Each structure stands twice: as C-alpha cells, then as structure tokens.
Amino acid sequence: MTPFLSEQTFLLDTEAGQKLYHQYAQGMPIADYHCHIDPKEIWEDRRFDDLAQVWLGGDHYKWRLMRGNGVEEDFITGERSGWEKFKKFAETLPRAIGNPMVEWCHLELKNYFGYEGFLTGATAREVWEQCNHKLRTDPALTARGLILQSNVEMIGTTDDPCSDLSYHKKLAADESFPVKVLPSFRPDPAVNIQKPGFAAYIQRLEGAAGRSLGTIDEVKQALSERIAYFDAHGCRSADHGLDALVCRPVSDSVATAALKKARRGESLTQEEIEGYQTALLLHCAREYAKRGWVMQLHFSCMRNPNSRMVALLGPDTGFDSMAVTDSCGAAYRLMDLLEQEGSLPKTVLYSLNPADNAWIDTLIGAFQGPEAPGKLQHGCAWWFNDHKQGMEEHLTSLANLSLLGNFIGMLTDSRSFLSYARHEYFRRVLCGLLGRWVEQGRYPDDEELLGGLVQDICYRNAKRYFNL
C-alpha cells in the first residue's frame, strides 16, 4: 500500500516520473502569472491571527465543501469564531475523498506547518494548536515569508484599471523583497456592459480619466491611457473574464448607443451587449499587441447562478459553475480579425468547460506566429478542472494536438498565500504523466531532454512568455 502523500511517490507511479519530479521539477522557481493576492498584504507583510484566517478566509473552494456538507453559513462566512469555522471544515474534509481539496489541504499543512497527519474532527484541535503556534512564532509564516519559502520569483496580481497601483510602486522600490509583484490589467467592469454596477463603474473610470466618457471612442481612449499607465509600472499581461467569448463587430455609433442605454439603466439586447464588448475587446487587444503584453481570456463560466446567496454575500463567494457556451466560433472570428490587421497579441485561452479542450488546442495551432514559441496558449486546467483528471485531460489534449513542450504551466488563481502547494501538485501530475509515457515506450528515456522539457513547462516557458 502506498502511504498517503508519500514524498517520494505521491502522483508519481513510475521511476521515470519520480526522477523527473525530484531532480528537475521540484526545485524550479514559481512564476505565478495570474492570481488574486492583494499587493497591500504583501507590502504590509501581513501576519495572520490564526489558521482560519490564513486558510479559510476568502477560500471559496473550502466554503463549497462545507455547504455541501450542510454546514450553516454562519460557520462559513458568518460571525462564528475562527476555531468554530475550522472545526466544521475539519469535520467536512474526510467526506471529500477523491476531491483534490483533500490533497491540497494536506500538502499545505505539511509544507508550511509540518503537520503530517490527517485532518478530521477528531484531530482538529491538535492541528489548530500546532499551526497557530507556528503562525505566532515562525517569522517565515508572514505574507512575504510564505512567498519566499515557496520559491516564488514573480506574482501577477489582478488589478482594476482605475487603480493607482500604489502598492506595486512601493514593492518595486523595496530592495529588501526580491520577488517581482507585477500588476495585471483587468478591465471586466468596463467591458461587461450587461453586469450590475456597469454605469457606476463608468463614473469611476471618468474620475480616473479626468473627463466624461459619453462615447465608445472616449471609453477606448480612457482605457488606452490606463493601459499606458500600467505598462509604465511593469504590467506584462491583461486578463478578461467573460461569460462567453464574443465577436460581433459594430460601428462606433452602435456601440455608443449601447453605452448610453446602459448608463441610463435601460435593458440591452444580446446583440447590443456583444457589439459593445467586441468593440472594447478588439481595441484592448490592439493596445496589448503594441506593448508585447499577453492577453488572457477566461470563459465558459456561469457566474453567480444562485441569486439569493449572491445577494446576501456578493460575488466570489463560491456560487459559480461551469457553463456550456458557443465560444468556439467567436474565438476563431476574434483571432482572425486581429490576425488580419497584424494586431493579434500573445493570447492565453482558458475555458471552465473541459469539453472545450480539443477545439482550443486546434484553434491555437491555426494562429501561431514567430513572435514567441506557443504565441497562442491553451491555459492550464482552470478552477474546477485543476485536479489530477482535469490536468491530465488538458495536458493530453494539448500534447495530442499541439506542442506540450511550449506550454506555460501552472498558476494559482488564488487569494491564498498557501496555494503555492498547487504548483507542487501540478508538477507531480505532469511528471507522473510524462513518466508513464516513457515507461510505455512512447518517448525515449532521455533524462537530459525530458528534464529540460519539464523545467521549461514548470517555469522557463512562462518566464520567457511574459518577458520576466
């Protein structure tokens, strides 16, 4: 019987896979090019009061499990004490057999707190006291300490176009902290005209721009100015979260009419929504291409389907799901329009629906270019797919239909400073898969060649792709 989370063999069922992980993948730095960590917490070097704060706070993966176990919301996002919340999670976790949260959680407990047992309701107090003692006494368990001991070289945060990037400026000037903390441009509130709060956001953007934004051209110009500002402060990437990809080119007058209707609070047709979104997506993509930025597109997500709970708790609280969307045709049209005019930036496509794997992997092959190896990327198994099966399906599809050796690897997409354990998880899955292919005679057992490929995928490809 294989021991639980065996350092030597976890997710590594061949000698070839074990060698690839332990000798080549394990020690590579992390380029975490997309996450939701708050740069303010890095600058202030936040110290956490207890395990619930650092481990449960903001982690909607854990919250979903607790809700699935019938835990009352007061023990999840409510006013109960940290211990009470942690105890409820500890009682829930053993029932999640087969869920990657079991493995992630115990990797985090092992890597950062030295706990090698199994978290249950019965062991909750022991874990709570051990981890809290370390949080109080270990100088490596602050925000910066956790980043440094995780061997992180770069962090790409997610930032509103209106941000003054004050904490990025402070971090860039701080020679005592060697990690690059770079902003990423996230213009969703300006692009997603159909979302609640759009009109109020355009007012905010007017404040940042210092003038009124009554036409689509004025909105474009404001975003261009903010892109230039972000570029001057180290930005290398933009990120767009869309329900579905769209490509419905319209005239500026049509897009302006949609803008005016939305600002008056009037309902829009689907055609008006898509026309406005397309106008800004195309404009932003052209700006990114000028600067050598990466455009990241996330789609096929059903956000906030539980309207009652979202009304109570707000977005990003664990009430999202996969969606079936018609993004394929729009993706081809969008890429083609940009390619025709020489304005297609380096682009990463992430779908929350694994049924989209194959068409994404064939699409990226249709629009590659000499600007970079793997100019178009199929982003890593995202969100509900970042488990062993989802990662292997993504990697296998990418290998079957494209060049796996040019893949830019894993990201955390997380608000937690403990989530770097997911890079270990991904690296083990990757090496386990490659090791099996070697053992099956599908690829030569060439250690130098394989080791280089693994290190490229784990770190070097992303470093080159994002111009770090």
Shared-domain flag, residues 90 and 217:
no
- Give the dihedral of Cα atoms 99, 386, 78, 115; nearest 10 deg: 60
For the record, the structure tokens of 385 come out as: 């797919």
For 345, half-sphere exposure in the C-beta direction (CA atoms, 13 angstrom radius) is 26
211 domain-assigned = yes
103 domain-assigned = yes
Shared-domain flag, residues 425 and 296:
yes
38 domain-assigned = no
pLDDT in the model for residue 56: 92
Give the other-Cβ count within 10 Å of 252's Cβ: 12
Domain enclosing residue 53, as ranges: 47-141
pLDDT in the model for residue 149: 96
* 3-class state of residue 144 by DSSP: helix
User: Phi/psi zone of residue 265: left (φ > 0), alpha (ψ -120 to 50 degrees), beta?
Assistant: left
What CATH number does the domain containing 168 carry?
Answer: 3.20.20.140
Cα–Cα distance measured from residue 125 to residue 295, given in angstroms and rounded to the nearest whole number:
45
Exposure b/e, 312-337, CB count within 10 A at least 16 = b: ebeeebbbbebbebebbebbbbbbeb
pLDDT in the model for residue 171: 98
12 domain-assigned = no
| Contact present, 217 and 259 (Cβ < 8 Å) | no
Shared-domain flag, residues 356 and 401:
yes
DSSP for 87-127, written as a single string: HHHHHHGGGGTTSHHHHHHHHHHHHHH---S---TTTHHHH
User: Phi/psi zone of residue 452: left (φ > 0), alpha (ψ -120 to 50 degrees), beta?
Assistant: alpha
Shared-domain flag, residues 79 and 196:
no
Shared-domain flag, residues 137 and 154:
no
Cα–Cα distance measured from residue 229 to residue 363, given in angstroms and rounded to the nearest whole number:
32
Shared-domain flag, residues 270 and 343:
yes
What CATH number does the domain containing 101 carry?
Answer: 1.10.2020.10
Distant-in-sequence, close-in-space partners of 457: CB < 8 Å, separation ≥ 6: 404, 405, 407, 408, 409, 430
| Contact present, 357 and 397 (Cβ < 8 Å) | yes
134 domain-assigned = yes
42 domain-assigned = no
Q: Of 442, 445, 374, 438, nearest to 409 (Cα)?
A: 374
| Contact present, 454 and 25 (Cβ < 8 Å) | yes
197 domain-assigned = yes
Shared-domain flag, residues 133 and 187:
no
- Of 141, 163, 189, the last residue of a domain is 141
Cα–Cα distance measured from residue 318 to residue 312, given in angstroms and rounded to the nearest whole number:
12
Shared-domain flag, residues 58 and 154:
no
Cα–Cα distance measured from residue 264 to residue 245, given in angstroms and rounded to the nearest whole number:
26
Shared-domain flag, residues 96 and 186:
no
Shared-domain flag, residues 78 and 117:
yes
The residues pairing with 346 across neighbouring beta strands, listed in sequence order, are 294
- Of 141, 172, 204, the last residue of a domain is 141
Distant-in-sequence, close-in-space partners of 446: CB < 8 Å, separation ≥ 6: none
User: How many domains does one find in the chain?
Assistant: 2
Shared-domain flag, residues 165 and 204:
yes
Three-class secondary structure assignment of 389-423: HHHHHHHHHHHHHCCHHHCCCCCCCCCCCCCCHHH
Written as tens digits, the pLDDT of the chain (468 aa) is 899 999 999 999 999 999 999 999 999 999 999 999 999 999 999 999 999 999 998 899 999 999 999 999 999 999 999 999 999 999 999 999 999 999 999 999 999 999 999 999 999 999 999 999 999 999 999 999 999 999 999 999 999 999 999 999 999 999 999 999 999 999 999 999 999 999 999 999 999 999 999 999 999 999 999 999 999 999 999 999 999 999 999 999 999 999 999 999 999 999 999 999 999 999 999 999 999 999 999 999 999 899 999 999 998 899 999 999 999 999 999 999 999 999 999 999 999 999 999 999 999 999 999 999 999 999 999 999 999 999 999 999 999 999 999 999 999 998 899 999 999 999 999 999 999 999 999 999 999 999 999 999 999 999 999 999
pLDDT in the model for residue 58: 85
What percent helix, strand, coil does the chain show, rounded to 5? Answer: 55, 10, 35
Task: Kindly report the pTM of this predicted structure.
Answer: 0.97
Shared-domain flag, residues 90 and 176:
no
